Amino acid sequence: MGGVRRYPAELVLLTGVVLLLALGGLAWLCSAVVTASVLWAGAAAAALVPAVVWVVADLRAGRWGADLLAVLALGGTVAVGEYLAGAIIAAMVATGRMLEAGAARRAGRDLSALLERAPSRARVRSGAEVEVVPVAEVAVGDVVVVLPGEIVPVDGVVLDGGQFDESAVTGEAVPISRTAGEPVRSGVVNAGGAADLRATATAEASTYAGMVRLAEQAAVDTAPVARLADRIAVWFLPASLLIAAVAWVLTGDPERAVAVLVTATPCPLLLAVPVAVTGGLSRASRSGVVVKGGAALETLGRVRSLAMDKTGTVTAGRPEVVDIVCAPGVRPDEALAEAAAVERYSPHVLAGAVLRAARRAGVTPPAAESVTERAGHGASGIVEGRPVWVGKLEDATVLPPWAAGAARRGRLDLATVIWVVTDDEPYAALLVRDRVRPDAARTIRRLRAAGLWHIVLLTGDRVDNATEVAALLGLDEVKAEAAPADKITVVRAEREHGTTAMVGDGVNDAPALAAADIGIALGSRGSTAAAKAADAVIVDDRIDRLADAVEIARRARRLAVQSAGLGTLLSVAAMALAAFGLLVPVAGALVQEAIDVAVILNALRAVRGPMTWRPPARPTVLLRRFADEHETLLPTRAAVRRAADALAEGAGPAADEAVREAHRLLTDRLLPHEFAEETQLYPALAGVLGGPESTMTMSRAHTEIERLVRRLGRHLAEAPAGIQPDQVDDLRATLYGLDAVLTLHFTQEEEAYFTLAPRVRD
């Protein structure tokens, strides 16, 4: 036997009131006036009883206003015999409650879904056996088996690769392929075959558990009576009562007072504010930002000043090898392979940069023996029979000319230099730098467009590094070498000029996050301390979620102010008409019904709203593909610069070999990539960006790149026996020009196009 279906109390109330109102109208049409009056009075009473309960609850909570007016209006219509007006007011009150409850349930759906999806069990592999255990018992280092369609229970790294649906965590609809060694966050769904992951965090410390905690905290505060509504109610109730009293006193007609109270019934009107705020919370959650309550969302909607941490916030937060400079006769891939062979056993963050560079270049490191590490300096080992040191050089080391040039480039590019040394002689230099996020510049532009007028970069890093990043992003001010106490001081100073937000991800950012009007933490790789101190948390590793959150908060607050302000003004106008006798109670009730329903429906726009644009599936897949190819083409771009540098000593076998190698890589790897972009990616983007003109600038860059490569080829064709001295100057100009065009073109593509496809790097 099936269970009895339960309906929301608001729906039952609305159905009952509308039924009594309709039956009363039918009776009136049949000339049964007394019956009609009884039915309408019943409708008014049906709403009056719960309205009194709501008023008592509000008064106990220290609130008063909207529901009190509803009680007075309902009681007044019954007292003067305006039963039809009372029934209409009852329908209005029930409709408002129904809309509010529906919006709250709809807005809370995304948050409650997090709680319902939280996995409680995990499959842990022990040898050949797989045991199902409570998720809380999974330890760091355990091998967890995730079957197709299952939710990943803890953060981990893929052992053999797999495909995952990350939409629940990042909002990205297209499944993501992860290769061996890449990280996978808890909460994503296995969209491929069974996958093995090695746990890197316990369930309690994993990404999804943090999202659940934030969801629970936000759910507690999703539907408060917003402060804006409180401020309106403080003066609206006394004003309504005063107008009603004056109308009664001056005319001696109590119906005038009732008509005023009827038109002043703003119960659903003032509920429009929490509806808009709750809708904004839901939108933010779906966009990958969990905001801890309506008050925080309102504050975010008023932000005018922003302080941003640098490392891990506007930069990727990890170093990457950006170039390889080698001694004459040494191949970059050989040097990288030997460095990776030694660094493979090191936990140092720079070792990770070397290993990632080797993987991108397709280099397989040889075996290394007798590997030892000197903390803070580097590591050494025996690679293919010879000693290799990877790390810093001793201060007294005399650098050969090529190495002095590499060291100077490191200083000019603000990069750290990792030296590769054998027999006390450096033979390669790896230039390492923490890159600015490709989506950072777009995010700053969107924040400016949203109304932020002052953006400060706060960092403990060196002044030159911080200044370079701020200049690239167009920030207003830089505070470098800042300790946590210095960050607090800057944030407090910013607050004197307007509502201030702070964005960060590290433990050292937590005090500043707490000191700001609203703190926003990057939760994907951010510290637990930062997440706890923040008022909002970005749950994945995309800084452009910050712009999403600000735009959503601005829109939700604008709709709340718009709904409350316009609705209140219309109610005041209706009250004036009622006071002058131009609206009888029945007409006033109908007018107020229309006003209240209209403003609540307007507030409901915050639940849906214009979502942040994401490209369709096919462009998204193409964008990811070509973004990954940009990574693999870094060695080709580096070869262009090395060939130009090799010509500094004039024509010779080494320079000839370097130029021919650069031309080979350009022809075999770069030009096919550019051709595929031109024929596959750009047409797909033109379809969603408004036409081919949107990609015309990038197409022109492709043309220039192809022209320079052809020119380089003609140079080599004219010198089959080797580059001639009279070719050196033009060859260097061609190569340096090609290097500059490639650098600009790749940067533009990464910022303009590739940031459109959400992706999480390893």
CB 87 within 8 A of CB 43: yes
Among 661, 650, 643, 663, smallest CA distance to 729 is for 650
How far lies 611's CA from each of 43, 376, 548, 640, in Å?
A: 41, 47, 9, 42
In one-letter notation, the amino acid at residue 81 is G
Classify burial at 386, counting beta carbons within 10 Å of its beta carbon; exposed 0-12, middle 13-18, buried 19 or more: exposed
DSSP state of 206: S
Among 539, 609, 553, 541, smallest CA distance to 114 is for 539
Provide the H-helix boundaries in 254-293. 254-263, 267-286
DSSP H/E element including 199: strand 195-199
CB burial string 103-123: b at 16+ within 10 A, e below:
bbebbbebbeebeeebbeebb
CB 504 within 8 A of CB 313: yes
Q: Which residues pair with 378 in a beta bridge?
A: 374, 391
Active-site annotation holder among 67, 155, 165, 309: 309
Cα 498 to the chain's mean position, in Å? 24
The first and second tokens of residue 388, run together, are 């290799």
CB 200 within 8 A of CB 156: yes
Active site residue 309: yes
In one-letter notation, the amino acid at residue 694 is S
**Helices and strands, number each (H, E), in the chain:** 28, 22
Among 217, 69, 219, 201, smallest CA distance to 144 is for 201
CB 536 within 8 A of CB 296: yes
The first and second tokens of residue 248, run together, are 């009664």
How many CB atoms within 10 Å of residue 673?
Answer: 16
How far lies 487's CA from each of 23, 309, 434, 477, 502, in Å?
A: 67, 9, 21, 13, 10
How many CB atoms within 10 Å of residue 462?
Answer: 12
The first and second tokens of residue 317, run together, are 């937060």
The first and second tokens of residue 529, run together, are 């301390």
Angle, CA 182 vertex, CA 179 and CA 187 arms, to 5°: 105
Query: Which CB contacts under 8 angstroms, 24+ apart, belong to 39-44?
Result: 39/87, 40/83, 40/84, 40/86, 40/87, 41/78, 41/83, 41/86, 41/87, 43/16, 43/17, 43/86, 43/87, 43/90, 43/91, 44/74, 44/77, 44/78, 44/83, 44/86, 44/87, 44/89, 44/90
Angle, CA 252 vertex, CA 250 and CA 257 arms, to 5°: 85
Q: Give catalytic residue positions.
A: 309
